[in-house]
Chain A
């Protein structure tokens, strides 16, 4: 299906914390556009003050997160072909900012909560001499987590934050990924299990896997980060045999 010359209507959220509403726009499409191109075209042709955050247009900076037809996505990586195909002919494509974070203006939200939580995580604490060596197998597991681009689509998606507003009790999937990355680091000596349970609230996650579905970096958040952390919490707090074993041997 060629999109060239097709007239397409959009309904985009405009406004700030004082008042906001959905506004309609129409533009002519070109071949090969992504959603971010359309937002830019609207900005260029009709609404110079339409606020949108972006940087790389290559799915690498994580700044262009928004909700397209109700699904959180990177605008720069979402092809118009796909969006037009899923939208019925007579209704506009809807674009909203992420709903779990405070609105600044139009499509831009304030994601600083994520950074505040990140600052509470103890950094890696490895051996003093700096010639760290570990093997590839050990590296692979934690390397995978470094592909995160901090788009916060996962935390925006997570129902613990989105529907239940537990921002004070739960760190959100992005920061659980960071915790997993540090906790499983082959040379790290820090013990973060008590915080992972109490302060970062891993038990609030009910492994329904929406964060994994949405991650544009393809990180298997639930399977590779959260479930292994939950298993480590079980080792420490719920497994009776391990608890007895620790009492007897006096080891952690």
Chain B
């Protein structure tokens, strides 16, 4: 099917008739992701000190290491932490959740297929020969794991709730309740992550998209949720990057305070 003489598509990586800077977007996004990967690796495995600080009784944890489950009394995790090998840190234990969640995210998939697999690097730009000789299979083979995105979503929702709870820890001062710069940093991070999670395609489907009819009662409510999620779903990519970047800004902030380059203050206490 679709047979007959066709104009040849220019063969080879990056071959195209386009005359604009098609390579800039995959390049920028690919570089961004690579930097976040390297930074995360450094922070998790090489330099996992200074992950939180205290300000007058409140605790601010770096977003990369929140929730810091090794400080929990639940299941005596804090006791276990003392005996655990010392390369273990909170982030290493839970990183698979944000990693799995982002890694199977429909938006992220677009970014890495384009930037890392050049499949395609940009629209109407030819793919490297190897993509063709390997035989294109789409989202089958190893990429079949992407179908489990919704399970990572469930786990991410739990993490998100704990993150909000961690935000409240930044607000208990010795002399009352208040807000510090650390509260803002963690609060913004939690907010951006909430937007990223609630604009998720799988959530949109599970909330209401799965139904064909939204007639009355619960199904109508689910239809309304579908409509609301659809609105923010349009900017899912924006929330992806905003929340990702803020994790690292937050971590840098915590590092800088620990090192004494910057200092946190309570903005007000009541």
Interface on A for B, CB 8 Å cutoff?
A: 13, 17, 20, 67, 69-72, 86-88, 91, 94, 96-97, 99-103, 110, 113, 116-117, 134-135, 137-138, 157, 159-168, 170, 184-186, 188, 201, 203-210, 213-214, 220, 223, 227-228, 230-235, 237-239
Contact = CB atoms under 8 A, between A and B. Distances in A.
B4 interface: yes
A209 B113 CA distance: 11
B120 interface: yes
Which of B109, B123, B149 has the most chain A CB atoms inside 10 A of its CB? Answer: B123
A128 B5 CA distance: 45
Interface stretch (B63-71, B80-88, B135-143, B175-183): B135-143
B258 to A, nearest CB: 40
A102 B136 CA distance: 22
26 contacts: A17-B5, A20-B7, A70-B16, A70-B19, A71-B123, A94-B17, A99-B6, A138-B212, A138-B214, A159-B120, A163-B131, A163-B136, A164-B132, A165-B2, A168-B1, A185-B212, A186-B213, A188-B212, A204-B138, A205-B139, A206-B109, A206-B113, A206-B139, A210-B123, A228-B209, A239-B150
B215 interface: yes
Nearest to A205: B138
A179 to B, nearest CB: 14
Given A99-B6, A167-B1, A207-B109, A232 B210 contact: yes
Interface string B119-140: 1100110110001100011111
B114 A208 contact: yes
Given A94-B17, A116-B1, A234-B147, A135 B120 contact: no
B2 A161 contact: yes
Interface residues of B, number: 52
B234 interface: yes
B227 interface: yes
Nearest to B6: A102
In the A-B complex, the 8 residue pairs with the smallest Cβ-Cβ separation, listed nearest first, are: A102-B4, A70-B17, A167-B2, A204-B138, A210-B123, A17-B5, A70-B18, A238-B147
